[in-house]
Amino acid sequence: MRELPTLICMHGGPGFDHAAFKPGFAALADVAQVIFYDHRGHGRSDPRPPEEWNLDTWADDVVRLCDALGLVKPIVLGQSFGGFVAQRYLARHPAHAGKVILSSTSHHMGLERKLAAFERRGGAHARALAEDFWLRPSMQTWHAYWDGVRSLYNTRPPLDPDAGARTLIKPEILLHFVAGEKQQMQLLPGLASAQCPVLVMCGDQDPVCPPEDAQEIADALPAGLGELVTFAGVGHGAWRDDPDAAYAVLRRFITQPL
């Protein structure tokens, strides 16, 4: 019997669920208690009204979850949209976490970087689909975008081909966020409040959260607290394209003494 740190994994989206973390993150079960949950209103969580679909509420929910479970100084991992939540959590609750991991995420809309990255990965057609969705989010532009560019998010096929079928998607949350809060999102200023070690992970081939965003996130953290790890030949979610390297970095960060 030995006490392990608790790793709280916050999924991407918005509008998706935690299915993408499974079964891969079981690889960390020997060094951490791994907790997955669906953000408020998402997946298998209770439906909630649109006025609660915002970063402040989702960030505060991390504290509410920890209070309910009796967790102190968790390690909080945010993937993609979950990284937006984690950044807002750092700003609103800077003394709460023991460590934070910001994976394949951004601090702003950064549309021009996205469009340029999609064009590099998939040509002019991919750029046009991305521009149409991010500027004019609707069910029509979302389906065209997801069908047309999803394969560009990563550099290798999914390790678990059934993961997508298990995912519960609520596009109404996605469209609400992209049309609203995402357009003017600016998370860099809040990162100066961080009081714990923060690992920033990115893939150099990620089109939707480009590596330039990760560099700016790392630069915005207080001196001595931030660490940036960039994975070569990797897209969105390093453990999807280079699991051996990604889990090695996560394992080292989780187990290193504070």
In whole angstroms, what separates CA 168 from the centre of its chain? Answer: 17
Number of Cβ atoms within 10 Å of the Cβ of 189 = 10
Q: What is the pLDDT of residue 3?
A: 87
Q: What is the pLDDT of residue 163?
A: 76
Number of Cβ atoms within 10 Å of the Cβ of 194 = 20
Q: What are phi and psi of 36, to 5 degrees?
A: -115, 145
Q: What is the pLDDT of residue 156?
A: 95
Number of Cβ atoms within 10 Å of the Cβ of 185 = 17
The beta strand positions in 157-248, using DSSP E, are 198-203, 226-231
Q: What is the pLDDT of residue 1?
A: 64
One pLDDT digit (tens) per residue for the chain, 258 residues:
678 999 999 999 999 999 999 999 999 999 999 999 999 999 999 999 999 999 999 999 999 999 999 999 999 999 999 999 999 999 999 999 999 999 999 999 999 999 999 999 999 999 999 999 999 999 999 999 999 999 999 999 988 777 778 899 999 999 999 999 999 999 999 999 999 999 999 999 999 999 999 999 999 999 999 999 999 999 999 999 999 999 999 999 999 998
Tokens 């991010």, residue located: 134
Q: Are strands 226-231 and 198-203 parallel, antiparallel or unpaired?
A: parallel
Contact 62, 10 (CB under 8 A): yes
The beta strand positions in the chain, using DSSP E, are 6-10, 33-37, 75-79, 99-103, 198-203, 226-231
Q: What is the pLDDT of residue 2?
A: 76
Q: What is the pLDDT of residue 78?
A: 98
Q: What is the pLDDT of residue 90?
A: 98
Contact 114, 134 (CB under 8 A): yes
Burial class from Cβ neighbours inside 10 Å (0-12, 13-18, 19+) for residue 247 reads middle
